[in-house]
Structure 1
């Protein structure tokens, strides 16, 4: 488990209104490190991407819905995360949402691109990752 360096740009790539990268503490760090609940499915998806970058299995498992959560989570050794692009977000109703994204990383010099439409559900005012479909 690792933490982002103080003042470092958030791994999720979210920008402020002026187009500058947000610091991790002001972005996903609020959820990963300070324990705040993500306010919407996109914020949860972005914070989960940051958790993959920082190898925070604790956060990933805690934000994975109990119906689909694996018992453990392993990280790909040597994976270098390169970026996240949110393609779309859709609120289906008050407690169900979808986020389509592309996450890129490199493993052993090989480029990997994950394009997924993820489903999220809100229970007791907290959003959880339910599952995803590769696109």
Structure 2
């Protein structure tokens, strides 16, 4: 898929508009993933969705940049052949002005065809006006 086609394709995070029409990558997570320096995600749910999109697109630079420094790994490894199948945001809640949690289920299929389901409650913190992923508890 070319860059222009990728920008107009439905966003991998699955967010829809008021008419239930899928938002394009450019109108949704693309603005955060492709321009982190100038366009930070406005809230924890948007950051979580954009991080899912970054996993789909294997954008380690964005994932590392949006990880809280206290929990950030030195590098990321993507499993070859993983196909991300969808994201379901179950709940999101602010816990004060600078902390939030987002519960989600992400589905994928590995290179052997085996299906996987990641159900997590992620914790986020806002520092310097930007949201960062801290860690998550698996279900």
Which of the five TM-score ranges fits, normalised by the shorter chain? over 0.9
| Residues in 1 aligned to 2:99 and 2:93: alpha-carbon distance in whole angstroms | 9
Candidates 72, 76, 97, aligned match of 2:75: 72
* Structure 2, unpaired ranges of 5+: none
**So what's the TM-score if we normalise by structure 2?**
0.94
Tell me the equivalent position of 2:125: 121
Mapping of residues 102-113 of structure 1, within 5 Å: 102-107=105-110, 108-113=112-117
What root-mean-square deviation, in Å, do the aligned CA atoms of Structure 1 and Structure 2 show? 1.3
Figure out how many residues of one structure are paired with residues of the other and give that number. Answer: 134
Tell me the equivalent position of 1:22: 23
* Structure 1, unpaired ranges of 5+: none
SS class of match (1:26): coil
| Residues in 2 aligned to 1:6 and 1:24: alpha-carbon distance in whole angstroms | 5
Candidates 94, 97, 101, aligned match of 1:94: 97
Give the CA deviation at 1:34.
2.5
SS class of match (1:43): helix
Residues 122 and 137 in structure 2, CA contact (< 8 A), matched pair in contact too: yes
Give the CA deviation at 1:6.
2.9
SS class of match (2:125): strand
1:83-105 deviation per Cα after TM superposition (whole angstroms, max 9, x unaligned): 00000000000000000000000
Give the CA deviation at 1:5.
1.1
| Residues in 2 aligned to 1:104 and 1:95: alpha-carbon distance in whole angstroms | 29
| Residues in 1 aligned to 2:91 and 2:97: alpha-carbon distance in whole angstroms | 17
